[in-house]
A and B are shown apart, each in its own frame.
Chain A
Amino acid sequence: MIKKLTVPSRGAKVAAGAVVVTLSFAAVAGAETFGFGTTPTEQEIAAIDIDVMSDGRGYPEGSGTVAQGKEVYASKCAACHGENMEGVKEAGGAALIGGRGTIGTPKTKKTVESYWPYASTLFDYTKRAMPFNEPGSLSNDEVYAVSAYILHKANIIDANATMNAETMSKVEMPNKDGFIADPRPDIFNYR
């Protein structure tokens, strides 16, 4: 008898047109899984597991002050984002502060200060992608420091603040309640 073998999958709700799973792979091959690939070491995971979540998970060790951040900013960010974080058009670096209260008005100005719902995103993004000309080059201390400086200039934290995993997790951004779930379809001309 010829049997059609298919892949193990919970793909019962796969896009229309896909074959519905009929026979479990385990039954035919006597194995639970294919087992390809290797088990990554903790170090291998840690080396690229750089994300920081809004509830504070993922912040690395280290710390930085507003004062230290001022130095980092001047030497590594100002050229593209401006002395006063007003943005530098020619460099493609956006304004990082200002615009509070403009969101949804004809003068909408989206910045870290006015728009970003979580401080974790500032840390996460700066660490992974900035400075644009040398992405991923900052130490954790430098990222804490420059985040502190930006948050201070945005009038979110004090001038004498020291930022670390704990203090960063506690920052409340001005627009933290500014986001809603997608309600689409939002136009109902159905046929």
Chain B
Amino acid sequence: MTKAKNPDLTYPDLSSYEIPEDKLAQIEGMRDAEKRALMARKAELEECECREGMFPNPMASRRSFFAGAAAAAAAAGSLPVVARAAAPPGAKEFEVPSDPTKVQGRLTNDDGGYGSRSQFEDEVRWRFPTKTKESSWTMTPLAAGMGMITPSGLHFERHHGGIPTINPASHSLIVHGMCDKPKKYSVADLKRFPSDSRINFIECSGNGLTEFKAPYLKTVQGTHGLTSTSEWTGVPLSTILDEVGVKPGAAWILAEGADAAVMTRSVPIDKAWSDAMIAYGQNGEALRPEQGYPIRLMLPGYEGNTHIKWLRRLEISDKPFQTREETSKYTDVVKDGKARQFSFTMEAKSVITFPSGEMKLPGPGFYEITGLAWSGRGRVKDVEVSTDGGKTWHLASLQGPILPICHTRFRFPWMWDGNPALIASRCIDETGYMQPTIASINEVRGVNGHPKFASIYHLNGIMAWAIGADGSVVNAAHKV
């Protein structure tokens, strides 16, 4: 294994070049800034206790890196512009010139090296008004989404005990129970294993819980915003299971988080061996804190709650653990008063995101109907769109690549004649399963699982939007 190299801090001699005085000062300023940053990096590589300096402690590196960068910026006389508070979350407010071609723009790297979105973009997750803010959820603004990836900062959240702040340098994962060699892994240890990246959606099984009985929330963010797609990078759980040597008879694994809820779920061992992953990366960078930083479990296609965030422990056992989240919660009471347990897979589903609730079409003419389809059982095979309330259905075009257990964008060209219309979509996945109507789900499962909303979890019925003659769009769940 190669050791991380000490940075080479020699630079080409510039004296033989004819460089104007002011340019030279600039170049030297940049050089010094880079040097300082590299020195800081070198210093912390030396104090790092991780194996052979391959994965320096990101906390330490961030602190010293910033100190270096700030000093450099100060030295170069270019301290970052301080943002005003009025900017939307994730953006910084800047003065808008009347003609951007007549003045120089903002200085390169004045953002400190990490970019933010435009001050004119203000889509945000919003929170479902639960009584406590620690145990609550936020929804992804699907209507504004493009393509299939959800920006990390807009990925929906569900926490039962708030978002813990965890220093990865002091976090570890213990794997124990029915295995030959129990193991304790630092985050750096996990990153040494051969890695894998997959683009998968995660959907909370409570997505749409308000819509079982009648149309309730107004926007697609409210009715469907508990699903998001990211590229996840990590180590396959099967690799870890091979390492610890699973004993015969093992059937379940308890996954446990390091949050205030010490969240726990039991995972069938077959799932653990197949496509489960311990993820540390999201969309090309480290996981966001609200997504489980520094490590989370990924169980592609399973309900979101099982993807334990802030993962600290995996216990291999012969039985499920019957935790609160797999008994009191995340179970579906059906017709005969029995409750379905361990309903893991999120079945085929789709929703039109444009046009969708609370939008207003300006007038008759061409519109591209678009939305998302997904299935926890594999790839989306077809999406069909109806603009006449389900009387006729037409194939939508699917945006590639069509990946298994991943949001798939569909599009359907539509000439709106200005008359009231009922638009809807349905997804057919590669198993041949077709997204059912909400009515047919209620018929099979009953409507007494919850006094107000009929049921809570695993609603994958067809969603419809009604378009009025005035172009207004409203929730028409149950109308198709």
B121 close to A (CB within 8 Å): no
Chain B residues with Cβ under 8 A from A185's Cβ? 347, 433
Given A103-B339, A110-B328, A179-B331, check contact A132 B448 (CB 8 Å): no
| A107 close to B (CB within 8 Å) | yes
User: B290 contacts the other chain (Cβ, under 8 Å)?
Assistant: no
Known: A8-B242, A186-B444. A128 touches B342 (CB 8 A): no
Please report the C-alpha to C-alpha distance between residue A55 and residue B331 in the assembled complex, in whole angstroms. Answer: 20
Q: Find chain A residues with CB under 8 A from B300 CB.
A: 15
Given contacts A40-B182, A89-B131, A135-B262, contact A13 B174 (CB under 8 A): no
Cα–Cα, bound, A124→B132 (Å): 22
Beyond A92-B130, A108-B451, A184-B343, whether A51 also contacts B321 by CB under 8 A is yes
CA distance A14 to B431 in the complex (A): 16
Cα A182 to Cα B261 in complex, Å, equals 26
- For the complex, is B126 an interface residue (Cβ under 8 Å from A)? no
Please give, as numbers and ranges, the residues of chain A lying within 8 Å of B464 by CB-CB distance: none
Chain B residues lying within 8 Å of A35, measured Cβ to Cβ, are: 243
Tally of contact residues, B, Cβ under 8 A: 86
The answer to whether residues A180 and B340 also contact, given A10-B273, A38-B183, A128-B262 and a CB cut-off of 8 A, is yes
Q: Do A16 and B433 form a contact, CB below 8 Å, given A91-B131, A136-B262?
A: no
> B274 to A11, Cβ gap below 8 A?
yes
Given contacts A182-B344, A184-B343, A189-B436, contact A40 B256 (CB under 8 A): no
Q: Are A33 and B432 in contact (CB under 8 A)?
A: no
In the complex, the chain B residue whose C-beta lies closest to that of A125 is: B324
Q: Which chain A positions have C-beta within 8 A of B261?
A: 128-129, 135
CA distance A17 to B432 in the complex (A): 19
| Interface contact A135-B182, CB-CB below 8 Å | no
8 Å CB contact of B323 from A15, A51, A183: A51
Indicate if the CB atoms of A36 and B193 lie closer than 8 Å.
Answer: yes
Report the nearest A residue to B260, measured CB to CB.
Answer: A135
Chain B residues within an 8 Å CB radius of A40: 174, 176, 182-184
- CB < 8 Å A-B pair total: 218
Chain A 156-191 per-residue mask, 1 if CB under 8 angstroms from chain B, else 0: 000000000000000000000011111111110111
Are B236 and A51 in contact, with the CB atoms below 8 A? no
Q: How far is the CB of B430 from chain A (nearest CB, A)?
A: 8
Residues in chain B near residue A189, CB distance under 8 A: 433-434, 436, 440
Q: Which residue of chain A has its CB nearest to the CB of B131?
A: A92
Q: Are B451 and A107 in contact (CB under 8 A)?
A: yes
Stretch at the interface among A59-67, A69-77, A114-122, A143-151: A114-122
B313 near A180 with CB under 8 A, answer no
Asked if A54 is at the interface of the complex by the 8 Å CB criterion, the answer is yes
Q: How far is the CA of A53 from the CA of B432 in the complex (A)?
A: 38
Q: Check if B394 is an interface residue, CB within 8 A of chain A.
A: no
Q: Hey, what's the 0/1 contact readout for B45-58 against A, CB within 8 Å counting as 1?
A: 00000000000000
Most chain B beta carbons < 10 A, residue from A105, A107, A132: A132
Q: How far is the CA of A35 from the CA of B161 in the complex (A)?
A: 34
Are A121 and B328 in touch, CB under 8 angstroms? yes
Number of interface residues, chain A, beta carbon within 8 A = 67
CA distance A98 to B444 in the complex (A): 28
> Does B127 count as interface, using CB distance less than 8 angstroms?
no
**Chain A 79-123: CB-based contact to B (< 8 A → 1; otherwise 0):** 000000000011110000000000111111110100111101100
Q: Mark A26-38, 1 if CB is under 8 A from B, else 0.
A: 0000000111111
Whether A2 is near chain B, meaning CB under 8 Å from some CB there, is no
Closest to A13 in B: B274
B278 at the interface (CB under 8 A from A): no
A171 to chain B, nearest CB (A): 13
Using known A-B contacts A10-B238, A11-B274, determine if residue A106 contacts B448 with beta carbons closer than 8 Å. yes
Q: Which residue of B lies closest to A33 (CB)?
A: B243
- What is the bound-complex CA distance between A97 and B176, given in angstroms? 35
Bound complex: CA of A190 vs CA of B181, how far in Å? 45
A140 to nearest B CB, angstroms? 15
User: When chains A and B are docked, how far (Å) is the Cα of A191 from the Cα of B323?
Assistant: 37
What distance in Å separates the Cβ of B300 from its nearest Cβ neighbour in chain A?
Answer: 6
CB nearest neighbor in B for A9: B238
User: Roughly how many angstroms separate A117 CA and B183 CA in the complex, as a whole number?
Assistant: 32
CB pair A104 B256 closer than 8 Å? no
Interface flag for B254 (CB, 8 Å):
yes
Which residues of the other chain, A, contact B131 by a CB distance below 8 angstroms? 89-92
Beta-carbon nearest neighbor of A50 in chain B: B262
Say whether B341 faces chain A, with CB atoms less than 8 Å apart: yes
A89-B131, A190-B434 as given contacts; A121 in contact with B322, CB under 8 Å: yes
Q: B315-328 interface mask toward A, CB cutoff 8 Å, 1 = contact, 0 = none?
A: 10101011110011
A182 to B342, CA, bound (A): 6
Q: How far is the CA of A109 from the CA of B264 in the complex (A)?
A: 24
Judging by beta carbons under 8 Å apart, are A36 and B333 in contact?
A: no
User: Does B62 have its Cβ within 8 Å of any Cβ on chain A?
Assistant: no
Cross-chain contact B238 with A178 (CB below 8 angstroms): no
Q: Does A7 contact B (CB under 8 A)?
A: yes
B335 within 8 A of A: yes
12 A–B contacts from the bound complex (CB under 8 Å): A13-B274, A49-B313, A53-B322, A105-B337, A108-B448, A115-B328, A124-B264, A124-B323, A128-B262, A129-B261, A179-B327, A191-B428
Per CB-CB distance, the 10 closest pairs between chain A and chain B, nearest first, are A104-B337, A92-B131, A40-B184, A182-B343, A128-B262, A125-B324, A92-B132, A37-B185, A15-B275, A190-B432
